[in-house]
Chain A
């Protein structure tokens, strides 16, 4: 028997498509807003690198885009730089002390060279610790890489969708003067907390994370509805 009535499927699918398009437009808008917020700045020695062009990291997913790469503000390096400056003048001061003066010239020379090697090691250790301890914010995750010491590193990550609360703390004379602070990211999983220590522009970082959370929620909604 022939069908008497058939439902207007075409119209319903058109409405669905329109809604889907609207949602993806909204998503694009959120992403644009994130890009507008962070801009495009920083070089490989910056503490705040927005949308780094050729940066990749371990376990990066194929379409995952890095939005921010954060390090401790450069001001936090001044302490060890001051120590290095003091260490550099130590051999000159030691020359004035009798026990060092009694040593044969060749021993003095080798000891001085050893001291400067030690200073170099101190510089490298501090610099690498600053350079490699990064916080990466991608469009999917936040990653915290801690280069604690020469033989100890810690890498942890959390999906943005699992973030429950983002707060920041800014204080102290240097923090207020140079606009840096600590961002705390609380995730749902195992009550974990990420700490982005002494990062520049913490308010902006929090704002970016909020936008990304919004984007993830939209995506989740889209996934549920489609």
Chain B
């Protein structure tokens, strides 16, 4: 039974790892789009993208500790 939870933990961590990759791609994409259109409020959009990446890191760390 213990093995089931270990496998579940690995699967969840793997999914979260993929999610971090996705969050990173999102940041890159935001920077790319900002090259196309630049407005004075771009910093706010950047902030959202970085906060999302940071959030996904924190959830990964949290899952690593708690599971």
Contact = CB atoms under 8 A, between A and B. Distances in A.
Interface of A: 44, 52, 54-58, 104, 106-107, 109-111, 113-114, 117-118, 120-121, 124-125, 128, 131-132, 134, 136, 145, 147, 150-151, 153, 155
A122 to B, nearest CB: 11
B62 A121 contact: no
B22 A153 contact: no
Contacts of A134: 37
A49 B36 CA distance: 17
Contacts of A155: 36
Interface of B: 5, 8, 12, 15-16, 19, 22-23, 25-26, 29-30, 32-33, 35-41, 45, 48-49, 52, 55-56, 59, 62-63, 66-67
Given A56-B38, A110-B63, A110-B66, A150 B29 contact: yes
Given A114-B59, A124-B48, A128-B30, A44 B39 contact: yes
A145 B37 contact: yes
B39 A55 contact: yes
Contacts of A104: 5
B57 to A, nearest CB: 11
Given A55-B39, A111-B12, 18 more contacts: A55-B38, A56-B38, A58-B36, A107-B67, A110-B63, A117-B55, A117-B56, A120-B52, A121-B23, A121-B52, A124-B49, A128-B45, A131-B45, A132-B37, A134-B37, A136-B37, A145-B36, A150-B29
A1 B52 CA distance: 88
A58 B37 CA distance: 7
Nearest to A43: B41
Nearest to B25: A150
B66 A54 contact: no
A28 B56 CA distance: 54
Contact of A55 (B5, B26, B37, B67): B37
B40 A44 contact: yes
A162 B7 CA distance: 61
A109 B30 CA distance: 30
A51 to B, nearest CB: 13
A52 B41 CA distance: 12
19 contacts: A55-B39, A57-B36, A106-B67, A107-B12, A109-B66, A110-B62, A110-B67, A113-B63, A114-B12, A121-B22, A121-B23, A124-B26, A128-B26, A128-B45, A131-B45, A132-B37, A136-B37, A150-B22, A153-B36
B39 A124 contact: no
